[in-house]
Amino acid sequence: MYLNHHHGTHLPHIPMDIDPTDVASAWLRRFSSSLTLLDLPQIASCIHEDGFLRDILVFSWSNRTLAGPAKIISYLEAARSAAAAITSVKLDTRMYLSPDFDAGTTTVSSGFTFESAVGSGQGYFSLTPEETTGEWRAMSVFMMLSDIRGHEEGGPEEGVYGEYTIAWGEIIRERRARIERDPYVLIVGAGQTGLNMAARFKQMDIPTLIVEKNAQIGDNWRQRYPTLTLHTVKKFTEMLYQPYPNLATFAAKDKVGQWLHQYAGSDDLVVLTSSYPLPTPTYDAAAKRWTVGINHEGTPVTIHPAHIVLATGIMGAPNGAAFSGHRVIVVGAGSSSADICQDLVVQGAASVTMVQRSSTCVGMAIEVSDFKAEVTPYLLAKRVMSMHEEEAWEAEKETHRGLREAGMKLNMGPDGAGTLGLARERFGGTAFNACFSQVCRWLNASQDSVSHLTSRDEIHLLTFSRARRRLR
Ligand SMILES: Cc1cc2nc3c(=O)[nH]c(=O)nc-3n(C[C@H](O)[C@H](O)[C@H](O)COP(=O)(O)OP(=O)(O)OC[C@H]3O[C@@H](n4cnc5c(N)ncnc54)[C@H](O)[C@@H]3O)c2cc1C
C-alpha cells in the first residue's frame, strides 16, 4: 500500500515500472475528447470526486475555480461552444512541464498545450489513481489562455523604420501622441502591476496609456520608510521581458523605484505622470467606449478608451510622521511592523513597542515558478501544505524558537498552510524571515525588554529599547 499525499489515503499497489507519460497521455486523450464532444459522464470520470478545474479565460472571459465534477460539468455545459473548440491538445515536452511523478508521491503531473477558438493556451494537470479501481483521475486541471490570435507577443522591435528613412525618435513621438490621444486601454497606476500590463499590451499591439498620480514613476517606493528593502528575494518579483539589472538580492526601496522608472523608459511605455482620472467615467455601451476625464498636471484632458484597468495597489497610504525622540507604539506584528520597528530604532525613537494581538506566521520563501504557483487551486494547495506542515517548518525552527523565547506569539497559517495561506485568506498576518531575523536578535539580546500584558484581548507587547541599536 502507498500513501497518496494529495488524498492522505491508502491506495492500491502501483507497479514501479509505470510510465508517467503513458498515464498522462491516456488521461489527456480521454479528457480532450470528452471536451470536444461535451461528453459529460466522461468529463466526470476524468475528475476525482474532490478534484478541481481552474480556468483562466479559456471557457469564459473570467477566472474561475470549480470544485468537484458536478460544478465542473455545469460550468462546461454553459460554455459548450468554447469547450468544443478546444483542439490540438498535446502533452508539454519542456523541462519541468513534461509528465512525471511528483517527488515522493504516486501523483502524475504534466503540462499540456492546446488551441481554443480565440488563441493558444497552456494547461497543467495532476492525476492520482482511484482508491478502489486504480483508474487515474485528476485532482486538479488548470487551463489558461496564453495568447490571443492576431495579438501574439511580437518580440523586440526590429529598430529599422521606413528602410532607414525614419528615425526612431520620430516613431516614438508619433506613437506616443497617438496613444495619448486615443488609447484602447487606460491603466491607472504605474506600479509593478500597471507597468507589467502595459508592457504585455504593447507586445500585443494594444495601444495603452498609463496615468500615474505621482510626479515620477517609482515615487510610490521612494516615499516609503528609509530602511525598507524588499522582503522577498528579487527573482520572485522580476518584471516582464526585462530581468533586473545588477540589484542586491533584497533590493533597497529607492533602487526598486529607480528600476520601475528605468523599466518604463526602456520599454517606451506611454505614462502620463502627475495625472489621475477625474470622477466619474461614463460608459457608452453602443460605442463600447468609456469617456474619462484626466487631470494631467492640473489640466483636464478627455479620452475614450475601450477598457480601464485599475492598478492602484492594495496597500494603505504611507504615513511619514517624524518619531525621533518619541516613545512609539507600532500596532501589528507582520513584515511591515518588523521593518517599521527597526526603522524607528535606527531613526532615534526613544522606545519602540510592537503590539501583537493575534499570532504571526513567520515563513520561508517558496521556490516555485509563477506558472506552477498559478496551476494549483488554492483550496488544494492549502490541503497539501497542511499535510507537509511538519517538514516545511523544520528549516525555520531556529528563527521560530528565538521569536517564541522572546515572547512573540506565532502561528503556522490557516490549518498549517503557512504564509501563503494567510496571504491569500487575510492579506496580512505574515512575515518573512528576512525582516524577522534581526528583530529576533534584538529581542533576545535582552530578555527584560519583553513585557507581556495579559488582557482580555490577549495583546502582547514586545519592546525594543534604543540600546538595541548598538547591536546592529
Ligand atoms: C512596506 C512594503 C514592503 C513590501 N515588500 C514587498 C516585497 O519585498 N516583495 C513583494 O513581492 N512585495 C512587497 N510589497 C508589496 C508590493 O509593494 C506590492 O504587492 C506591489 O507594489 C503591488 O504593485 P501594484 O502595481 O499593484 O501597486 P502599487 O505598487 O501600490 O502601485 C500603485 C500605483 O498606482 C498609483 N495610484 C494610486 N491611485 C491612483 C490614482 N487615483 N490615479 C493615478 N495613480 C494612482 C500609485 O501612486 C502607485 O504608483 C511590499 C509592500 C509594502 C507596503
- Whether residue 216 lies inside any domain: the answer is yes
**Are 334 and 459 within one domain?**
yes
Range 137-141 average pLDDT: 96
Return the residue whose CA atom lies nearest to atom 45 of ligand 1. Answer: 189
**Are 356 and 448 within one domain?**
yes
**Are 199 and 333 within one domain?**
no
Return the residue whose CA atom lies nearest to atom 41 of ligand 1. Answer: 276
- Whether residue 270 lies inside any domain: the answer is yes
Burial (CB < 10 A; 0-12, 13-18, 19+), residue 86, is: buried
The per-residue pLDDT for 388 is 67
**Are 306 and 175 within one domain?**
yes
Q: Which three cell numbers stand for residue 413?
A: 497559517
β-strands 275-277, 282-284 pairing: unpaired
The per-residue pLDDT for 250 is 92
Cα(192) to ligand 1 centroid in Å equals 7
What phi, psi does 268 have (nearest 5°)? 55, 40
**Among candidate residues 130, 145, 160, the one where a domain is terminated:** 145
pLDDT tier for residue 176 given thresholds of 50, 70 and 90: very high
**Among candidate residues 281, 310, 339, the one where a domain is terminated:** 310
**Are 103 and 195 within one domain?**
no
Query: Relative to the CA of 236, which ligand 1 atom is closest?
Result: 11
- Whether residue 18 lies inside any domain: the answer is yes
Range 382-398 average pLDDT: 70
The per-residue pLDDT for 281 is 96
To the nearest 10°, the Cα dihedral for 113, 115, 119, 122?
-20
Measure the CA–CA gap between 458 and 461, rounded to whole angstroms: 10
**Are 232 and 340 within one domain?**
no
- Whether residue 300 lies inside any domain: the answer is yes
Q: Which of 173-182, 317-326, 362-371, 413-422 has the highest mean pLDDT?
A: 173-182
pLDDT tier for residue 14 given thresholds of 50, 70 and 90: low
Return the residue whose CA atom lies nearest to atom 4 of ligand 1. Answer: 230
**Are 253 and 367 within one domain?**
no
List the domain range (segments joined by +) for residue 368.
327-463
Q: Pocket residues for ligand 1 (CB within 6 Å)? A: 188-194, 211-214, 220, 224, 228, 230-232, 237, 276, 311-313, 315, 336
Q: What is the CATH number of the domain that holds 37?
A: 3.10.450.50
Cα(220) to ligand 1 centroid in Å equals 7
**Are 133 and 75 within one domain?**
yes
Q: Which of 144-158, 381-395, 397-411, 412-426 has the highest mean pLDDT?
A: 144-158
**Among candidate residues 310, 337, 371, the one where a domain is terminated:** 310
Q: Where are the alpha helices (H) located in 204-362, listed in sequence order?
A: 219-222, 253-266, 335-346
**Are 278 and 331 within one domain?**
no
- Whether residue 48 lies inside any domain: the answer is yes
Cα(431) to ligand 1 centroid in Å equals 17
Share of the chain above pLDDT 70, in %: 79
To the nearest 10°, the Cα dihedral for 395, 401, 402, 405?
170
* Residue of 197, 219, 315, 427 to test ligand 1 pocket, by largest number of atoms within 8 Å of CB: 315
Cα(179) to ligand 1 centroid in Å equals 25
* Secondary structure in 3-state letters for 95-156: CCCCCEECCCCCCEEEEEEEECCCEEEEEEEEEEECCCCCCEEEEEEEEEEEEECCCCCCCC
Gyration radius of the chain's alpha carbons? 26
pLDDT tier for residue 362 given thresholds of 50, 70 and 90: low
Output 233 or 410, whichever has higher pLDDT. 233
Q: How many domains does the structure of the chain reveal?
A: 3
Give me the DSSP letters along 24-82: HHHHHHHHHHHHHTT-HHHHHHHEEEEEEEEEESSSSSSEEEEESHHHHHHHHHHTHHH
Quick check: 455 pLDDT over 50? Answer: no
**Are 175 and 290 within one domain?**
yes
Cα(375) to ligand 1 centroid in Å equals 25
Return the residue whose CA atom lies nearest to atom 53 of ligand 1. Answer: 315
Cα(194) to ligand 1 centroid in Å equals 10
**Are 350 and 443 within one domain?**
yes
Cα(58) to ligand 1 centroid in Å equals 29
pLDDT tier for residue 335 given thresholds of 50, 70 and 90: confident
Share of the chain above pLDDT 90, in %: 54
How does pLDDT run across 206-224, given as a tens digit for each residue? 999 999 999 999 999 999 8
pLDDT tier for residue 3 given thresholds of 50, 70 and 90: very low
The per-residue pLDDT for 2 is 35
Q: Where are the alpha helices (H) located in 278-417, listed in sequence order?
A: 335-346, 370-375, 378-387, 389-394, 397-405
- Whether residue 152 lies inside any domain: the answer is no
Output 188 or 10, whichever has higher pLDDT. 188
Q: Where are the beta strands (DSSP E) in 149-184?
A: none
The per-residue pLDDT for 330 is 87
Quick check: 84 pLDDT over 80? Answer: yes
**Are 256 and 339 within one domain?**
no
How does pLDDT run across 287-332, given as a tens digit for each residue? 999 999 999 999 999 999 999 999 999 865 655 567 888 888 888 8
Q: Which amino acid is at 417?
A: A
- Whether residue 55 lies inside any domain: the answer is yes
Quick check: 32 pLDDT over 50? Answer: yes
- Whether residue 392 lies inside any domain: the answer is yes
Return the residue whose CA atom lies nearest to atom 15 of ligand 1. Answer: 315
Q: Can you give the pTM of this predicted structure?
A: 0.74
Tell me how far CA of residue 190 lies from CA of 212, 220, 248, in angstroms: 5, 9, 23
